[in-house]
Amino acid sequence: MSVTLTIVTDPATRESRELAVTSGTTILRAAHAAGIDITAVCGGRGRCTSCRVKFVAGTVPPPTIMDEVQLGDDLVREAYRLSCQCHVTEPVTVQVTPPVDETAFQILGSGGGVARLGRIAIDSGVTKQLVRVELPREEHHQTSDVEQLLAAIGGDTSAVPASVLQTLPSALRDDPAGVTVTTFGGKVLAVERGDTALMKFGLAIDVGTTTVVTSLLELESGEQLASVSSLNPQSVYGGDLMSRIAFAQFNPASLRKLQTRIVGLLNRQIAAVCSESGVLAKWIYKVAIVGNTCMHHVLLGIDPSHVGLAPYAPVMRHPLVLPARDIPLRVAPEAQVCLLPIVAGFVGADAVAVTLATRLDESDELRVAVDIGTNGEVILGSREKLWACSAPAGPALEGAQIRCGMRGAAGAIDRVLVGDGVEVHTIGETEPLGICGSGLIDLVAGLLDAGAIDWTGLIQADQRDALPPRLRDRIVRRGEERVVVVLRPGEAGARHEIVLTQDDVRQVQLAKGAIASGIALLQQVAGVPADRIGELLLAGGFGNYLSIPSAIRIGLIPSMPLERVRYVGNAASLGAQACLLSEKERQRAEDIARRIEHVSLAAHPAFEDVFVGAMNFPRGGAHE
Amino acid sequence: MSVTLTIVTDPATRESRELAVTSGTTILRAAHAAGIDITAVCGGRGRCTSCRVKFVAGTVPPPTIMDEVQLGDDLVREAYRLSCQCHVTEPVTVQVTPPVDETAFQILGSGGGVARLGRIAIDSGVTKQLVRVELPREEHHQTSDVEQLLAAIGGDTSAVPASVLQTLPSALRDDPAGVTVTTFGGKVLAVERGDTALMKFGLAIDVGTTTVVTSLLELESGEQLASVSSLNPQSVYGGDLMSRIAFAQFNPASLRKLQTRIVGLLNRQIAAVCSESGVLAKWIYKVAIVGNTCMHHVLLGIDPSHVGLAPYAPVMRHPLVLPARDIPLRVAPEAQVCLLPIVAGFVGADAVAVTLATRLDESDELRVAVDIGTNGEVILGSREKLWACSAPAGPALEGAQIRCGMRGAAGAIDRVLVGDGVEVHTIGETEPLGICGSGLIDLVAGLLDAGAIDWTGLIQADQRDALPPRLRDRIVRRGEERVVVVLRPGEAGARHEIVLTQDDVRQVQLAKGAIASGIALLQQVAGVPADRIGELLLAGGFGNYLSIPSAIRIGLIPSMPLERVRYVGNAASLGAQACLLSEKERQRAEDIARRIEHVSLAAHPAFEDVFVGAMNFPRGGAHE
Say if residue B21's pLDDT is above 80. yes
Query: Residue B555: which residues within 8 A CB-CB, separation 6 or more?
Result: B512, B516, B614, B616, B617, B618
Q: Give how far B107 is from chain A: nearest CA, Å.
A: 29
Same domain for B232 and B289, yes or no, is yes
- Whether A116 is covered by a domain: the verdict is no
Q: Is the pLDDT of residue B169 over 80?
A: yes
Query: Which three-class secondary structure string do you get for A513-565?
Result: HHHHHHHHHHHHHHCCCHHHCCEEEEECCHHHHCCHHHHHHCCCCCCCCHHHE
Which of B156, B173, B193 lies at the terminal end of a domain, its last residue? B193
**Do B78 and B208 fall within a single domain?**
no
Confidence of residue A582 (pLDDT cuts 50, 70, 90): very high
When pLDDT is cut at 50, 70 and 90, the band that residue A101 belongs to is very low
Do residue A522 and residue A390 come from a single domain?
A: yes
- Cα B554 to Cα B406, B608, B609: the distances in Å are 20, 20, 18
**Single residue among A458, A488, A508 that ends a domain in this structure:** A508
Note the pLDDT of residue B117: 30
Residue B386 above 90 pLDDT? yes
Q: Is residue A215 part of a domain?
A: yes
Q: Is the pLDDT of residue A401 over 60?
A: yes
Quick check: A614 and A513 in contact, CB under 8 A? yes
Distance in angstroms (rounded) separating the CA atoms of residues B171 and B179: 7
Cβ-based contacts of A329 with chain B (< 8 Å): none
Task: Using pLDDT thresholds of 50, 70 and 90, give the confidence band for residue B602.
Answer: confident
Contact A302 B162 (CB under 8 A): yes
The pLDDT tens digits of the residues spanning B118-143 come to 467 899 999 999 999 999 888 878 89
pLDDT higher than threshold 70 for residue A108? no
d(CA B416, CA B32): 53
Comparison of pLDDT for A592 and B13, the residue scoring more: A592
Backbone phi, psi, residue B48, to 5°: -145, -175
Angle between helices B252-277 and B241-248 (to 10 degrees): 120
pLDDT score of A105 more than 50: no
Host H or E run for residue A7: strand A2-10
From B261, A144, B541, B327, select the one nearest B339 (Cα to Cα).
B327
State the smallest CA–CA distance between residue B264 and chain A in angstroms: 19
For residues A382-394, average pLDDT: 92
- How far is A212 from A579, CA to CA, in rounded Å? 18
Same domain, B501 and B524: no
pLDDT of B223 over the 60 cut: yes
What's at B555, amino acid-wise? G
Residue A180 has pLDDT above 70, yes or no: yes
CB contact under 8 A, A344 and B142: yes
Indicate which CATH number applies to the domain containing A42: 3.10.20.30
Say which DSSP state A87 is in: B
Cα gap B313→A65, rounded to integer Å: 52
Tell me if A173 and B326 make a contact (CB, 8 A cut-off).
Answer: no
Q: Which amino acid is at A565?
A: V
Q: Which chain A residue is nearest to residue B347, measuring alpha carbons?
A: A142
- Kindly state the average pLDDT of the residues A43-64: 81
Please indicate, yes or no, if residue B459 is contained in any of the structural domains.
yes
Confidence class of residue B36 from pLDDT cuts 50, 70 and 90? confident
Q: Please give the share of chain A, as a percent, with pLDDT higher than 90.
A: 60
**Of the given ranges (A375-389, B63-77, B521-535), which has the lowest mean pLDDT?**
B63-77
The verdict on B525 and B388 lying in the same domain is yes
> Under a CB-based contact definition with an 8 Å cutoff, are residues B236 and B223 in contact?
no
C-alpha torsion sign, points A272, A276, A282, A285: negative
Q: Considering only A6-10, A111-115, A566-570, B427-431, which range has the smallest mean pLDDT?
A: A111-115
Residues of B in contact with A347 (CB under 8 A): none
Nearest-neighbour CA in chain A from B69: distance (Å): 39
Q: What is the value of ipTM here, to two decimals?
A: 0.78
Higher-pLDDT residue of A74 and B226 is B226
| DSSP output for B395-435 | SGGGTTTSTTB--SSTTEEEEEEESSSEEEEEGGG----EE
Of A142, A170, A318, the CB nearest to B157: A318
Contacts of A321 (CB under 8 A, 6+ apart): A336, A337, A338, A339
DSSP B231-252: E-GGGGG-SSHHHHHHHHTT-H
Q: Are residues A176 and A88 in the same domain?
A: no
A143–B317 CB contact, under 8 Å: yes
Expressed as residue numbers, the domain containing A27 is: 2-102
Return the pLDDT at B502. 95
Q: What is the pLDDT of residue B106?
A: 42
pLDDT at A622: 55
Contact list in B for residue A343 (CB cut-off 8 A) is 142
Pairwise CA distance, residues B533 & B535, whole Å: 6
Contacts with A348 (C-beta within 8 Å, 6 or more apart), sequence order = A290, A291, A292, A293, A294, A295, A296, A342, A377
| pLDDT on residue A476 | 93
Is residue A624, in this structure, part of any structural domain at all? no
Between A456 and B211, name the one with better pLDDT. Answer: A456
Same domain, B93 and B163: no
User: Would the CB atoms of A250 and B140 count as touching at under 8 Å?
Assistant: no
Q: Is A154 helix (H, G, I), strand (E, B) or coil?
A: coil
Domain annotation covers residue B345 = no
Q: Residue A430: pLDDT above 90?
A: no
Last residue of a domain, one of A489, A508, A527: A508
Residue B386 lies in a domain: yes
What is the average per-residue pLDDT within B213-233? 90
Among B212, B328, B192, B323, residue whose Cα is nearest residue B272: B212
Residues of chain B in contact with residue A259, where contact means CB-CB under 8 angstroms, are none
Contact B294, B245 (CB under 8 A): yes
Helix or strand (DSSP H, E) at A445: helix A437-450
pLDDT in tens, B345-359: 999 999 999 999 999
Nearest to B124 by CA among B592, B588, B589, B578: B578
Residues linked to residue A540 through DSSP beta bridges, in sequence order: none
Please give the distance of CA B80 from its chain centroid, rounded to a whole number: 25
Supply the DSSP symbol for A479: T
Q: Which residues of A touch B146 (CB under 8 A)?
A: 315-318
- Residues B318 and B215 both lie in one domain: yes
Q: Which of B316, B342, B352, B600 to mutate to test the interface with A (most CBs of A within 10 A)?
A: B316
Q: What is the mean pLDDT of residues A40-58?
A: 77
The answer to which of A117-121, A374-378, B74-78, B388-392 has the lowest mean pLDDT is: A117-121
Residue A110 has pLDDT above 70, yes or no: no
Determine the Cα–Cα distance for residues B375 and B392; give it in Å rounded to an integer: 4
Please give the average per-residue pLDDT across B71-88, as a whole number. 84
Residue B537 and residue B359: Cα distance in Å, rounded? Answer: 11
**Contact call for B313 and A136, based on CB within 8 A:** yes
The CATH code of the domain that includes A316 is 3.30.420.480
In B241-339, DSSP assigns E strands to 284-291, 320-323, 336-339
Q: Are residues B221 and B279 in the same domain?
A: yes
Contacts of B440 (CB under 8 A, 6+ apart): B396, B397, B399, B402, B405, B500, B504, B508
Q: Is B486 in the same domain as B503?
A: yes
Please report which confidence band the pLDDT of residue A543 belongs to, taking 50, 70 and 90 as the band edges.
Answer: very low
Same domain, A282 and A406: no
Instruction: Report which of residues A166 and A36 the model is more confident about.
Output: A166
Interval A435-479: pLDDT, tens = 988 899 999 999 999 999 999 999 999 888 888 888 999 999 998
Residues in B closer than 8 angstroms to A174, CB to CB, are none
Task: Kindly report the nearest CA distance between residue B139 and chain A, in angstroms.
Answer: 4
State mean pLDDT over A399-408.
81
Q: How many domains is chain B built from?
A: 5
Higher-pLDDT residue of B43 and A34 is: A34
* Interface probe with A: pick from B150, B166, B259, B293, most Cβ of A within 10 Å: B166
* Res. B155: pLDDT tops 80: yes
CATH code where residue B535 lies: 3.30.420.40
**CA B409 centroid distance within chain:** 18
Residue B544 has pLDDT above 60, yes or no: no
B331 and B126 Cβ atoms separated by less than 8 Å: no
Q: Which residues contact A432 (CB under 8 A, 6 or more apart)?
A: A411, A412, A413, A424, A426, A487, A492, A493, A494, A498
Q: In this structure, are B91 and B174 located in the same domain?
A: no
Mean per-residue pLDDT for A120-140? Answer: 91
B116 falls within a domain: no
Q: Between these two residues, A405 and B500, which has the higher pLDDT value?
A: B500
- Of residues B484 and A607, the one with the higher pLDDT is B484
Average pLDDT over residues B78-96: 89
| CATH number of the domain encompassing residue A153 | 3.10.20.880
Q: Where are the beta strands (DSSP E) in B25-155?
A: 52-57, 80-82, 92-96, 104-107, 118-121, 126-131
- Kindly list the residues from chain A whose CB atom is less than 8 angstroms away from the CB atom of residue B193: none
Domain for residue A114, yes or no?
no
